[in-house]
Amino acid sequence: MKVLLVINPKAGRYSILKHVDKIEKNFRKNPDVNVRIIYTKKEYNAEEIMKKYNLAKTDLVVFCGGDGTLNEGINGLIKSNYDVPVSFIPRGTMNDFARTIKMPTNKMKLSKSVGNIDDLKIDALDVGKINDRYFCYVSAFGNFTDVGYVTSQKLKNKIGRFAYYLTVLKELINIKPYKVTVKNNGVSFTDDILFGAISDSVYIAGLKWYKRKDIDLKDGTLDMVLIRKPKNIFGYFKIIKGFLKKEYTIENNYYFNKVKDLEIISEKPISWTVDGEYYGDIKEVKIKNITQRVRFAIPKDK
């Protein structure tokens, strides 16, 4: 069995480098497993590696890094028309997708998370597509969606996820609405939106948005949640209440729907993020679910 490890050396404040030997040794406990390691670089990220590496005889690709590294790898695989099972050793700051699919994020379990092939099961999961890019778990726009890429890397290295929360506090004073038109299944509406996310994940930006039983990663749908601009200050309390209770109703200033595809058009270009990384300033996006497109090797239920 041939396994390719694609490692982002900067992941986890560079802590991944301390575990590479353990990860490799854990794979090599099985004499039938052959491991090759490739490190990503700024000019040679996981997407480029997937496009240039011949995966014809590879049995498993394991990405080691954050959600952004996984996103790059998935885009490279799909655009190269490969159908190789992939797994993930999460060493980012938030690890939203990893927590959704129940990949271990604890440092003590890191080296063993995917190394024991017998403890993995292959499951075909959905991915999303926004215009020309695929995403594993979320595409988002509006207030706070830039937190992931504007937060100082030095600060993230020092204090981890708390660096993101500091950035959120700074942006609260500049909160603003975006007028957008949403088209879905022959129905459209226009409203002032503070935040929007189209996702297939329990967690977004480190926060738990959905109950686990409400998320199905292979049902052919994505979850659209939009936060409306309240008419008064009391409306913000309803937004908070809706989030805490997971009641995304119009009364709480939310639009929520399960969608297979939709179109979002804004008056002015809006900054979009894809799996926590900056995607671009865009006026019109088309988003759709690609049902069970990627085969993930994830831990068996214990």
Q: What is the tens place of the pLDDT at every residue in 257-273?
A: 999 999 999 999 999 99
Say whether pLDDT at 155 is over 60: no
* More confident of the two residues 42 and 191: 191
Q: Which of 70, 82, 19, 13 lies closest to 45 in space, CA to CA? A: 70
pLDDT score for 115:
59
Mean pLDDT in residue range 131-138: 96
Mean pLDDT in residue range 45-60: 92
Say whether pLDDT at 51 is over 90: yes
pLDDT score for 56:
87
pLDDT score for 6:
95
Amino acid, res. 229? K
All domains in the chain, ordered by first residue: 2-127+294-299 (3.40.50.10330), 138-290 (2.60.200.40)
Say whether pLDDT at 43 is over 90: no
Q: What is the tens place of the pLDDT at every residue in 78-115?
A: 999 999 999 988 887 778 898 898 887 665 455 555 65
* More confident of the two residues 218 and 108: 218
pLDDT score for 159:
47
Say whether pLDDT at 251 is over 90: yes
Q: Grade residue 157 by pLDDT with cuts at 50, 70 and 90.
A: low
Say whether pLDDT at 48 is over 50: yes
Q: Grade residue 25 by pLDDT with cuts at 50, 70 and 90.
A: confident
Question: Are 134 and 74 within 8 A, CB to CB?
Answer: yes
pLDDT score for 201:
95
pLDDT score for 151:
52
* More confident of the two residues 148 and 51: 51
pLDDT score for 21:
85
Mean pLDDT in residue range 196-224: 93
pLDDT score for 112:
55
Query: What is the rounded radius of gyration, in angstroms, for the C-alpha atoms of the chain?
Result: 20
* More confident of the two residues 283 and 16: 283
